[in-house]
């Protein structure tokens, strides 16, 4: 959530991310493909208490993510030279990380360790949420699973059509290697289906999901969705995001 604004040159970025050559970028693409295959093999289940959301795309025979298996993410040392990164300030390191992930299908972000620990705490208590993604004159409802150190996002309508064969559109991994030494957690997002989400939409989903878990007022809606589903009103999410109620 807490973004570091300072930017370094791309030359500096490449010096820290020395292993991220064309070959490494190819490996990153293969990693996303491997992740997709893993996810498609998993049986996904929707908690029974959330089945009231038929109007948003759920059906009683559908399921989503209670049997979640941790993703096989890329190790941080395969993305950057960790030893050389240890000499950089948190601001510089966050800027290098962001710059490296610029480009189709990848999102780079960062947050403080304090916010990360709060996110972990709240996600352990509330795994799921629904987020409207505004497009043109209406919105597409996305279903999020927050099971740290990962986030998964998929479209409800797509899930309604594909059932357990539906895979997340967007996956997010959190790296805590610098949490203690630099008060910095690095975040990598991969758009699995570039036909479903743009980089800008994926970035917005990540930031919005974090805002609902980290903002005390918004988190009450997350708690209601997970614990008091009968009292949850989707229009409250729309109001929180200043979106019109259609």
pLDDT tens by residue, 72-83: 678 899 888 999
Task: Give which of 75, 71, 48 is closest to 59, Cα–Cα.
Answer: 48
Task: Give which of 18, 170, 31 is closest to 79, Cα–Cα.
Answer: 18
In DSSP notation, 119-184 reads HHHHHHH--EEEEEEEETTEEEEEEEEEETTEEEEEEHHHHHHHGGG---SEEEEEE-TTHHHHS-
pLDDT reading at 30 higher than 70: no
Domain residue ranges of the chain, discontinuous segments joined by +: 76-241
Report pLDDT for 240. Answer: 97
98-142, pLDDT tens digit by residue? 988 887 678 999 999 999 999 999 999 999 999 999 998 889 999
Interhelix angle 216-227/199-214, rounded to 10 degrees, is 90
Question: What value does the mean pLDDT take over residues 59-79?
Answer: 55
- Alpha carbons 245 and 242: distance in angstroms, whole number: 9
Cα 246 to chain center, whole Å? 26
- Among 12-21, 86-95, 166-175, which stretch is predicted with the lowest mean pLDDT? 12-21
């Amino acid at each position: 959530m807490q973004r570091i604004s300072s930017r370094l040159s791309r030359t500096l970025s490449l010096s820290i991310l020395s292993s991220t050559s064309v070959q490494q970028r190819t490996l990153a693409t293969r990693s996303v493909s491997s992740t997709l295959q893993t996810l498609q093999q998993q049986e996904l289940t929707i908690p029974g208490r959330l089945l009231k959301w038929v109007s948003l795309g759920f059906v009683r025979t559908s399921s989503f993510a209670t049997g979640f298996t941790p993703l096989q993410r890329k190790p941080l040392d395969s993305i950057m030279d960790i030893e050389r990164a240890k000499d950089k300030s948190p601001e510089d390191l966050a800027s290098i990380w962001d710059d490296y992930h610029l480009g189709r299908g990848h999102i780079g972000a960062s947050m403080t360790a304090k916010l990360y620990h709060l996110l972990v705490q709240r996600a352990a208590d509330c795994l799921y949420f629904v987020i409207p993604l505004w497009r043109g004159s209406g919105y597409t409802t996305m279903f999020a699973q927050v099971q740290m150190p990962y986030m998964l996002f998929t479209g409800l309508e797509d899930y309604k059509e594909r059932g357990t064969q539906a895979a997340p559109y967007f996956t997010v991994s959190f790296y805590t290697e610098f949490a203690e030494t630099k008060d910095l957690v690095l975040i990598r997002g991969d758009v699995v289906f570039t036909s479903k989400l743009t980089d800008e939409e994926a970035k917005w989903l990540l930031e919005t999901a974090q805002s609902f878990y980290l903002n005390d007022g918004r988190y009450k809606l997350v708690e209601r969705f997970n614990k008091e589903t009968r009292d949850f009103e989707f229009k409250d999410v729309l109001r929180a995001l200043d979106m019109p109620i259609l």
